[in-house]
Each structure stands twice: as C-alpha cells, then as structure tokens.
Amino acid sequence: MTEVGARVDGAARRLPPVRGFTEWRREGAESASPKDQGKALRELVPRATHAGLDLDAGRPDAVTAVEESNQGRIPELTPIRVGRMAATPFAFLRGSAGLMAHDLARTPMTRIRAQICGDAHAANFGLYGDARGGLVIDLNDFDETVHGPWEWDLKRLAASLVLAGREAGADEDMCRKAAHDAAGSYRRTMRLLAKLPVLDAWNAIADEELVSHTDAHDLLGTLERVSEKARANTSGRFAAKSTEATEDGGRRFVGAPPVLRRIPDAEAAAVARSLEPYVATLSEDRHPLLSRHAVHDVAFRVVGTGSVGTRSYVVLLLDHRGEPLILQVKEARASALLPHLLTAGFETPAVDHEGRRVVLGQKRMQVVSDILLGWTTVDGRPFQVRQFRNRKGSVDPAALAADQIDDYGRMTGALLARAHSHSADPRLIAGYCGKNDELDEAIADFAVTYADRTEADHADLLTAVRAGRIAAETGV
C-alpha cells in the first residue's frame, strides 16, 4: 500500500522557494547559465579593453592625493606616513589605494560584484596562525574591503607586482610576466573552482597544494624561511620585548616612541571598556577563552604604511599563569574606495559600523580567519579588534630574487581568485575570463602602464618633500 504523500512518479518534489537559497531548476532551463552570462559580457566589455588607462583632467596630483588621505588622521603621525610612502614607488602604491581607485573608476568593468579586498597589492598576502597552531596563507589586510568590481583587485595586484619586481632588480620582461602570470593564475583558478561542487570549491586549494597548483616551486625556500619566522612571531615574544614587570606582579608596556608609546589613564580606560562590547561581537564559544584573561595595560602603537596616523592600540592581557595574549584595537575608517565606487555607478550596502564592515569582509574572503576577530567603538570611533602577532609572517615581494617574482604572482593570483569566489559565482567570472590569455595580456599591459604612472607620482611626492611642501619623517 502506498504511503500517503509519497512520490510514485519519479519527479522531483515540488517545494516552496526558501529565502536565502537559489530556487531549484535544471541547469540551462529557462535562463542562461552563469557561465553563458559571463561569456555574453565579453561583447559588452571586451577583455582586451582592460589594458586601457584613461587619466582624466580632474585627477588629483600625488601630493594632493596624499594630503586628502591624511585628513582625519593624527596630525603628528602623518609625516611618518609620508616618509614611508616616499621610500619607493612600490611603497607609494601601498599607501595610495584611494588614488588608484580614482583611476580604476574610469576603466572598463564587467559589473560583476564581489567582496573585494580593495587593497590587494602584493605585500598584503601572508601567513597567520589558525586556531590549532597551524599556518595559513591568504590575503591579510582588509581595511578597504567593500562590495565592488573584481577587476580592481586584480589590476592592483598586477601593478604592484611590476613595481615590486622593478625594486627587486628584475628586468622589464620578468616584471610584465609576473603581472601576466598573476592574471593567468587568477583565471585558471576561477575556472577550476567553477567546475567543482560548491562545497568543494569553497574550501579548495588547501595551503599545502598551493605551490604545486600555481607551479611556484622556486618559492619553497622563501616560504619555509617566512614560516619559520612566523611561528616565532607571537604575543609572548612581543610581550617579552615590549613589557616589564610591575610591583603588583603584573606587567605593563614599555614606551618606545614614536612606534610604541604609553597613553594617559583615561584613554587607556576607554580602550579597556570597549572590550566588553567587543566580546559581544564574537561567537559565544570564544567567551570562556577571553574570560580567563585579565586586562593589564594599553598602549598606542603605530601601524603599517596605509594605516599610519589612524588610532591603533595594543592591549595586554594575562592568564592565570601570567602568559600574555595581546589584542590590537585598530581604528576602522570608511573605505577609501567608497567615493570612487559611487563615481563608477556601484551602489554599495549601507555601513552601520566601519569595524563591522572590515571584519565581515575579511571573513567573507578568507578560508580561515582569526578566532578573536571582532569590532567595537572607542569614544564614538569605530574600531576592529584582532589578535596581535598571531604567528604572522609575510613575503616581501620587493626582496625576492628576480626569477621568483612570477612564481609569487601566480600564487597571489590564485589566492585572490579563491577569495573572490566566496562572494561572486566563479562560473560567472570564469565564463568572462575564458580559456585563452586575452585577459592576461590586457591586465599585464595595464600593470606596466600603471606602474609607470605610479613611478611618476612617487617622483612628484619626492620633489614636494624636498621642497618642503609636505613634511616627511624617514627611518620610522
């Protein structure tokens, strides 16, 4: 006897649409597949057009762009930022995400949306520790992350590889090859992910497979050295160098101006109080971990090139054995890309808290994220919170051997594709990118042109520094 409600005709069960899920339909039925939609975009935005760079008359000069990006930062720290940007053309690019976004807003775009890093230059990839003590390699800076065009990240990566290669002493052919290989690796990785079951694609290309997947075997020695240093880059080691014992048996930070300095009690107390709402942004299973630590001290610490001048604190916590855990509480400003996305006609979701934007963007792009990643507010300003010195390590692309820069390009291109595929359908991007290297050639041409432009911008900044138009402090 047939059970009531059972299917006997072999057809799929008819169920109502479920919010948050795709409505089921057979592949290719009723509408074009994502792959075909991507292919169709080639007619609207030919892949060869990505080589173009059209600088408009309203483009700010280098000094104006730096001065505008310094607004809202701590004034006495901006000369350090300018000094770091003035060091090399690659360093200038690292600090000028907003200026490049101005330029990219006037380049061809497919309008395929993804969660983008916004600052995907070659030095913003690196190693960090996972929850079980292993090392992960991925994108690791998300201050500018936002919903936007995937091409912007790829073009920024490619241009940065050309500049890093030039600084490393590679010839022009090798520098262009690094950009070309990064785009090719991005394209091939996206095609691979498009072919996999969704769950498999989500966690594809484990770190132990990355070198072979990208044919980056020449990097093995470099990655092993960076990994060895990263394993020693911990809260404990930083605390041993930067703190001292107090009379009551605790510890406190030792000032090392201008990079690390002690702050007034009221400022330290405000940061400490902000940890309570921060804890509420974490998964509840993390609460016992933090509850077994006590807050001992807070100090101000200057951070990397693009973030110099923003408010950033380190918080010293100790467990019952006196072992340290250090958190970084770092100001989160609005993404430098936002006004340029609006110029390009990209509407972005409203942001209710910039720290939350950074944290959620990071979690959307990384395969594994810091287990203590969260956000808070200090004196009305939004901040992100994360572990400090969480076994972090990075490859300096400008210090690579000349014949390694293309290997590094392929590795970072694959990582960028994996990150984008978490928010954009890889079938759509893969359909657009295609099988041949037409896009790779265009991206490489763009990268060389933009590297030349960045070198000119850097020269203009140096001229302004020497003329006293803008203050710069070097060697910090």
For helices 150-168 and 97-104, the axis angle rounded to 10 degrees is 120
Pick from 281, 265, 340: nearest CA to 101: 340
Do 206 and 274 fall into the same domain? Answer: no
**Per-residue confidence at 81, pLDDT binned at 50, 70, 90?**
very high
pLDDT confidence band for 1 (50 / 70 / 90): very low
Mean pLDDT across the chain, nearest whole number? 93
Rounded mean pLDDT, 275-296: 97
What average pLDDT does the segment 328-354 reach?
95
What pLDDT sits at residue 28? 56
* 332 shares its domain with 305: yes
Place of tokens 């402090």: 473
Q: What is the pLDDT of residues 412-459, one digit of tens each?
A: 999 999 999 999 999 999 999 999 999 999 999 999 999 999 999 999
> What value does the mean pLDDT take over residues 133-156?
95
Top pLDDT among 390 and 59 is at 59
116 in a domain, yes or no?
Answer: no
The residue among 197, 50, 30, 25 whose CA lies nearest residue 112 is 50
Which stretch of 10-24, 86-100, 169-183, 360-374 has the lowest confidence by average pLDDT? 10-24
What mean pLDDT is predicted for residues 305-311? 86
Q: For 398-408, what is each residue's pLDDT tens digit?
A: 999 999 999 99
Structural domain includes residue 15: no
Shared-domain flag, residues 228 and 259: no
Give the pLDDT confidence score for residue 435 in this predicted structure. 97
Q: What's the rounded mean pLDDT across residues 289-308?
A: 92
- Does residue 363 surpass a pLDDT of 80? yes
- pLDDT higher than threshold 80 for residue 23: no
**28 found inside a domain:** no
**Which one of 390, 410, 429 terminates a domain?**
390
Boundary-marking domain end, from 330, 359, 390: 390
- Report residue 46 as tokens: 């030919």
When pLDDT is cut at 50, 70 and 90, the band that residue 309 belongs to is confident
User: For residue 5, is pLDDT > 50?
Assistant: no
Residue partners of 420: CB distance under 8 A and separation at least 6: 114, 115, 116, 150, 153, 190, 365, 426, 429
Quick one: 223 and 273 in the same domain? Answer: no
What proportion of the chain, given as a percentage, has pLDDT over 70? 96
Could you tell me if residue 473 is inside a domain? no
Residues 293 and 202 in one domain: no
Residues 215 and 244 in one domain: no
445 and 342 in one domain? Answer: no
Q: Is 65 in contact with 96 (CB distance < 8 Å)?
A: yes
**Domains: count for the chain:** 2
The answer on pLDDT for 327 being more than 60 is: yes
Q: Residue 298: count other Cβ atoms within 10 Å of its Cβ.
A: 24
CA distance 388 to 189: 31
With respect to residue 118, please indicate whether it lies within any of the assigned structural domains: no
Residue 370 lies in a domain: yes
Q: Are 304 and 432 in a shared domain?
A: no
Give the confidence band of 16 by pLDDT, cuts at 50, 70, 90: confident
Give the residues across from 297 on adjacent strands: 316
Which comes out higher in pLDDT, residue 231 or 21?
231
Per-residue pLDDT tens for 190-230? 999 999 999 999 888 878 889 999 999 999 999 999 999 99
Handedness of CA 348, 353, 354, 357 (dihedral sign): negative
- 424 and 286 share a domain? no
Q: Is 218 within a domain?
A: yes
Whole-number pLDDT of residue 11: 66
- Do 168 and 201 reside in the same domain of the chain? yes
* Domain end call among 347, 370, 390: 390
Given pLDDT bands bounded at 50, 70 and 90, which one contains residue 347? confident
Mean per-residue pLDDT, 339-362: 95
CB contact at 8 A, 385 and 365: no
Half-sphere exposure of 7 (CA within 13 A, CB side): 7
Whether residues 364 and 408 fall in one domain: no
Give whole-number Cα distances, 464 to 63, 77, 82, 299, 475, in Å.
7, 18, 11, 33, 18
Domain holding 322, by residue range, is 234-390
Does residue 291 sit in the same domain as residue 354? yes
- pLDDT over 90 (residue 112): yes
Q: Is there a domain that residue 21 lies in?
A: no
